[in-house]
Amino acid sequence: MIEDIFEGERELNFPPLFEAMPVSAETCPFTKACAMATLGCDSGTLVHCITKDRLRAAIVFAPEVPLARAMAVYPACGAGFQNAFGALAPPEITLDLTWGGGILVNGAKAGRLRLAASTDDPNAGPDWLVVGIEVQLMPRDQNDPGLTPDQTCLYEEGCAEMSPIDLLEGWARHTLVWVNGLTDGDIAPLHAEWRGHLYGIGEDVERPGICGKFMGLDENFGMLIRTGGETALIPLTDLLKEHA
């Protein structure tokens, strides 16, 4: 069970480019990472906390490109998590991602990606960008796990034997692979990978101020929504306002 694996905790092993920063259960890793980034911490700082019910972590990036391009690290982190989960989970269990940051396991929400940056100007070069992740390991309500049928956890979906430590390490490793691909200038593989795991393409969606059919992505991972006879573009940078 997840509890047993957690209690046998071992030292975390991240790729060399990451600097691990563990925090207590009372501290939000995402908030901590944003605060550290504001003060000027190194790119690759990975703030994390694993408790018996949740895995929470956040990575600090220091992009050297305009924000519109730097936002690609968000789908890189999403694809990295899906890859890490897929390598550890039983083959019958599915994990999908929503464009807005939801993590769905077998169709129900089990976590989310979060995003923050030093600016929301698409043309400005951000001083820092932080991507965080939260995953529910155990039921939110131990006494009534069916209280929120649209939400789930890894334990309820057949992942009781999955080590959250392995999952966190895998997230770091797989994310680094995708980020390195971005550094080499080739976004096409990441574009195809992330699109392949996105939930709801071809279906009706509702975003702030607009409703329509989710048609796919533009070259910068923005959401294309068909409404009436027109196609609207919601840039990925809009998530900075939603995740604030």
pLDDT at 27 over 50: yes
173, 84 Cβ separation under 8 angstroms = yes
pLDDT at 6 over 60: no
pLDDT band at residue 7 using 50, 70 and 90 as cut-offs:
very low
Place of tokens 């998590």: 81
φ/ψ of residue 110, rounded to 5: -125, 0
- Specify the DSSP class assigned to residue 64: S
pTM of the complete model: 0.92
Q: Which two tokens stand for residue 121?
A: 């100007």
Mean pLDDT of the chain: 91
Q: Which two tokens stand for residue 35?
A: 């605060």
> What average pLDDT score do residues 1-14 get?
58
pLDDT at 184 over 50: yes
pLDDT score recorded for residue 152 = 94
pLDDT score recorded for residue 148 = 66
Per-residue pLDDT tens digits for 151-163: 999 999 999 999 9
Per-residue pLDDT tens digits for 77-113: 999 999 999 999 999 999 999 999 999 999 999 999 9
Q: List strands edge to edge, sheet with 204-207.
A: 204-207, 210-217, 223-227, 230-234
Nearest to 47 by CA among 19, 21, 72, 18: 21
Q: Mind listing the domains of the chain with CATH numbers?
A: 2-199 (3.30.930.10)
Per-residue pLDDT tens digits for 185-196: 889 999 999 999
Q: Can you tell me the distance from the alpha carbon of 147 to that of 132, in angstroms, rounded to the nearest whole number?
A: 26
Rounded to 10 degrees, what is the CA torsion of 74, 233, 107, 202?
-140
Q: Which residues face 230 on adjacent strands?
A: 227
pLDDT band at residue 144 using 50, 70 and 90 as cut-offs:
low
